[in-house]
Structure 1
Amino acid sequence: MTEQAEDARHLSVANVDFLWTSGHPVVLPIAGAPACKLDLHPANGTITLITAFTPPEPVVAKWRNIRFKPVDSDEGDLAELTVSVEGNVHGAYSLLTSVADQLQLLGEPLAAAVATAVTKHRNLFLGKAGLSVEKELGLFGELLVLEYLIEKAGSGPAVESWQGPLSEEHDFVLSDVHLEIKTTSGEQRRHMMHGFTQLIPVRGVPLSLISIQLTRTNHERGLTLGQMISGIRAKAGGYRPKVDAKLEALGWDDADVELYSTSWTKRNEPRAFLVDEQFPALTASRLAGGVPNFKMVSDLSYRVDLTYFHPSALPGALAGLVTVDEEHS
């Protein structure tokens, strides 16, 4: 069951997140006159407000993420106002529901309703994009590992081992193992890989992929990304400036903390997978022999399902970070 926002006209932020990350298109009617509905299309990265068209057309040409199109249909002349989400689903949803409110509650003409809503949301929509849900999950997962390392090895060694975006190496670099962290909110351990070098061990040190599955929960049982960051900063002590530098490089901004209202908790215990000859990694050396003119391929992204792949253990104090129990359907 979906949860409504406080004004009972629109969905809560948590439910907008839930619908968007499901990946499926959905149409949400908004009660009132004129008829309005929102078409959420995650695959296209867009949300569209559809309502009756009354001239003049709204002026949106100067806004990079907003498009308007009049449409002839069996229902009459319709207006489609489309917003490209670009990582800011909350801002896009809020902007379009604000247009609907101007139309239905205040009786403004379409062009005026759009102008009013854009003015109202200008700073939020253009200045506070925030992290995408995928990047939010990725950062949360890395911080879970960092928290574990701080508790086991101390803040200095833990923070120094966290490479984040400031290095071309893996997410965590330790003397006896390197870690690449992958986090998903899905029920399966399906993770996206990027590039040809992400899953290549370096300097002869073993590489393990850490698979973390998160799930949404209430505020009593989980933490928001902002709360997680606050806890890490407190535990980092004198190493907090290094933590902050890496957070900033990853796109975190304290001013955007209210954008991350979802509370997360572990769906189950993380698992480690040794990246060896049997791991399904697409690397340049593996592809060069089978792809004609491989040097012309400049980029690569692919998804790996590790749900039923054999997990492995981690060495030393890292052993408690993961479980080696097999998963069954």
Structure 2
Amino acid sequence: MTENPVFSGSGQAQDARHLTVENVDLVWSGGHPVVLPLSGEPECRLDVHPLNGTITLITAFTPPEPDVAKWRNITFQPVMSDGEELAQLTVSVADNLHGAYGLLTSVADQLQLHHEPLASAVAISIRKHRDLFAGQAGLTTEQELGLFGELLVLEHLIEKIGPGAATESWQGPRSEEHDFVLPGIHLEVKTTSSEHRKHMMHGFTQLEPVRNTPLSLVSVQLTRASHDVGLTLGQLVSRVRRRAGGYRPAVDASLEAVGWDDAHVDLYSMFWTKRNTPQAFDVDDLFPALTSARLAAAIPNFKTVANLAYSVDLTYFTPCGLPEPLSGLVTTDAEHS
């Protein structure tokens, strides 16, 4: 690589540490690998590689490793060089050259000017630049928990009624129906990691019965666990796929519909286990559901309301039982945790 290139005009920004955007463009358009040393301690340099479409910050490695798994276009790798362990933080430039350069120089500033540890320097800089680097197309934590809970119910049904009927009943990801549609009952599954049974509801129809079929909300509480007692979402996906056997394509279609991507399995590193036995609640006249009919009766010009989200705490509600083959899924014991 070429080191210390000569720039025309004012090559440095006002703080004299970094290049102006004009000279960043000049380096990149040259098409050749260039090394840009950054003055300060610890030693930092930028390896600019237009042919590869990357810029890499190289500095001394100090544990722990920065967590960049959920960010697309950003990778981290510790490497050995001449007996020294170095950190390589690489950004794929794509169409965001100035953002990539700004992120990496921000990390260097955190290291050299503010003396932040490596992992902290990266985290702080990503927070400052997060609008420039969209996260990977992974699930949010709420979506991760929601899928985990639905898979637990699906797994129960596979065991009780077989994989064909069970996978067919899992309707939530594929339609506007409730999560599970079974003869004589529909289920809406809600999952939380809270110590209380607090669940988010979205929209006006999520808790509305369909075709006069009884509807129950199944409340699943998860808690973080160690690897020996819990499962990651990826491990649960694999287990359900195995148990689905020849009906795996139906499972995969539903997983795809909710945004699951095998390429992003490393994003879901948290181990989860059930905090307690799930409970069910009849969505009846006494349930605090904000349905279209109830809101229309209470809110003038209700049709102008475009969206709705609200939280319901079911901790002190009286749970109900479920008919077969669902009876073993839930408990009717009061659990005021």
Q: Same fold (TM over 0.5)?
A: yes
Select 1:258's aligned residue among 263, 266, 274. 266
Distance in structure 2 (CA, Å) of the matches to 1:206 and 1:146: 19
Looking at structure 2, the residues matched to 285 and 228 of structure 1 have their Cα atoms a distance apart, in angstroms, of 38
Cα deviation 1:6-38 (Å, max 9, x = unaligned): xxxxxxxxxxxxxxxxxxxxxxxxxxxxxxxxx
Write out per-residue CA displacement over residues 191-238 of structure 1, whole angstroms, 9 at most, x where no aligned residue: 010111110111121100000000111110010000000001101111
Asked if residue 182 in structure 1 is aligned to residue 162 in structure 2, the reply is no
Match of 1:323 in 2: 331
Report what 2:227 is aligned to.
219
- Cα distance change on mapping 1:54 and 1:218 into 2, 3 Å: farther
Corresponding residue of 1:7: none
CA deviation string 1:24-62 (max 9, x = no partner): xxxxxxxxxxxxxxxxxxxxxxxxxxxxx7665886xxx
Distance in structure 2 (CA, Å) of the matches to 1:272 and 1:296: 33
* In structure 2, C-alpha distance between the alignment counterparts of 1:54 and 1:326, rounded to whole Å: 66
Q: Cα–Cα, structure 1 residues 195 and 233, in superposed 2: closer, same or farther, change >3 Å?
A: same
Deviation string for 1:238-286 (max 9, x for gaps)?
1111110110111010000111110100001100000000000001111
CA gap of 1:215–1:57, structure 2 versus 1, over 3 A, is farther
Match of 2:242 in 1: 234
Question: What secondary structure does 1:192 align onto?
Answer: strand
Counterpart pick for 1:195 among 203, 210, 219: 203
C-alpha separation in 1, matches of 2:142 and 2:171: 19
1:311 deviation in Å? 0.5
- Which structure 1 residue ranges, 4+ long, deviate > 3 Å from structure 2? 53-59, 94-107
Name the structure 2 match of 1:143.
Answer: 151
1:309 aligns with 2:317: yes
Aligned residues of 2:316 and 2:336 also touching (Cα < 8 A): yes
What amino acid is the match of 1:128? Q
Residues 69-218 of structure 1: pairs in structure 2 closer than 5 A: 90-91=70-71, 99=104, 102-103=108-109, 126=134, 128-218=136-226
Aligned to 1:281: 289
Q: CA deviation at 1:127?
A: 7.0
Task: Tell me what 2:94 maps to.
Answer: none
- Asked if 1 retains the 8 angstrom alpha-carbon contact of 2:70 and 2:136, the reply is no
Does 2:249 align with 1:269? Answer: no
- Counterparts in 2 of 1:166 and 1:324: CA distance versus 1, 3 Å: same
1:268 partner amino acid: N
TM-superposed CA distance for 1:103, in Å, is: 4.1
- Separation in 2, partners of 1:105, 1:278: 57
- What's the TM-score once normalised by structure 1's chain length? 0.66
Deviation at 1:327, TM superposition (A): 2.1
Bigger Rg, which one: 2
Deviation at 1:105, TM superposition (A): 5.9
> Using a 3 Å threshold, how does the CA distance of structure 1 residues 140 and 298 change in structure 2: closer, same or farther?
same
2: CA distance, partners of 1:291 / 1:189: 28
Contact 2:279/2:330, CA 8 A, preserved across alignment: yes
Unpaired runs of 5+ residues, structure 1, are 1-52, 60-87, 108-112
Q: CA RMSD in A?
A: 3.1
Provide the C-alpha distance between the structure 2 equivalents of 1:58 and 1:328, rounded to a whole number of angstroms.
60
What letter corresponds to residue 279 of structure 2 in structure 1? R
Distance 1:285 1:261, change over 3 A: same
Q: 1:56 to 1:188 in 2, by over 3 A?
A: same
Distance 1:305 1:192, change over 3 A: same
8 Å CA contact retained: 2:69, 2:267: no
Give me the whole-angstrom Cα distance separating, in 1, the residues matched to 2:149 and 2:272. Answer: 10
> Whole-Å Cα distance in 2 between the matches of residues 153 and 95 of structure 1?
44
Q: Which residue in 1 is equivalent to 2:306?
A: 298
Separation of aligned partners in 1, 2:172 and 2:69? 25
